[in-house]
């Protein structure tokens, strides 16, 4: 099993694997090109995103620059997706975002996990857990979503929240750690 196959399976893998590092660097080149485009060049931006991301449901996707991701192909976005500037997605595992999702500025979605033991962490071995965001979700600015989290449908996540656990559908959640404060 390759290190990439281990990574996608949620198994421990070496983050210093030569093939993974080559892929990361190739994606960084694509991201650089994307972030260097004029904001008004929507056609070229869409063309790059279609080649970079694993799945785009329609042409009504907007990801404002700058945008950062590690691999791209592990990211799937639904219809009418909008992300404001400075979206960062560490997509070592699958990241699925549903239809009609809106993401505020400075949002980070993380799938990569590291040991809390310094000796283990220094081996550069890590693992990843997927993130799933449902349909009709609004994620406020400066939100951080941690590995393994599922956010249900029709959810609002308040600005500045740190989402450490699953958030059920039809709710408003805020805080650090993020907690449901209201059912819709």
Q: Which residues belong to the active site?
A: 114
127-156 pLDDT, tens digit per residue, is 999 999 999 999 999 999 999 999 999 999
Helix (H, G, I), strand (E, B) or coil at 131: strand
Residue 75 is predicted with a pLDDT of 98
In this structure, are residues 62 and 41 in contact, taking their beta carbons and an 8 Å threshold? no
Q: Which tokens hold the place of 145?
A: 């979503």
DSSP H helical ranges for 37-147: 42-52, 118-121
Q: For residues 154-170, b (16+ Cβ closer than 10 Å) or e, as one string?
A: bbbbbebbebeeebebe
Q: What is the pLDDT of residues 25-64, one digit of tens each?
A: 999 999 999 999 998 999 999 999 999 999 999 989 999 9
97 band by pLDDT with thresholds 50, 70 and 90:
very high
CA distance 107 to 121: 25
Confidence band (pLDDT; 50, 70, 90) for 8?
Answer: very high
How high does pLDDT run on average in the chain?
Answer: 97
Give the dihedral of Cα atoms 159, 160, 164, 166; nearest 10 deg: 0
Task: Report pLDDT for 55.
Answer: 95
What pLDDT is attached to residue 128? 97
Model confidence, pTM: 0.96
Residue-level pLDDT at 133 = 98
Q: For 158-164, what is the mean pLDDT? A: 98
Q: Which pLDDT value is given to residue 162? A: 98
């Amino acid at each position: 099993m390759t290190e990439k196959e281990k990574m996608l399976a949620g198994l421990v893998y070496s983050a210093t694997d030569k093939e993974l590092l080559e892929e990361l660097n190739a994606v960084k080149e694509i991201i650089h090109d994307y972030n260097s485009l004029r904001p008004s060049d929507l056609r070229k931006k869409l063309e790059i995103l279609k080649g970079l991301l694993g799945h785009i449901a329609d042409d009504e996707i907007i990801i404002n620059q700058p945008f950062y991701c590690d691999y791209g192909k592990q990211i799937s976005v639904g219809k009418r997706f909008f992300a404001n500037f400075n979206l960062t997605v560490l997509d070592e595992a699958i990241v699925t975002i549903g239809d009609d999702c809106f993401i505020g500025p400075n949002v980070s979605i993380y799938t990569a996990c590291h040991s809390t033991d310094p000796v283990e962490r220094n081996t550069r071995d890590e693992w990843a857990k997927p993130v799933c965001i449902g349909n009709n979700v609004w994620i406020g600015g400066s939100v951080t979503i941690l590995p393994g989290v599922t956010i249900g449908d029709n959810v609002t996540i308040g600005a500045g929240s740190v989402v450490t656990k699953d958030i059920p559908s039809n709710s408003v959640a805020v805080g650090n750690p993020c907690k449901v404060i209201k059912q819709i």
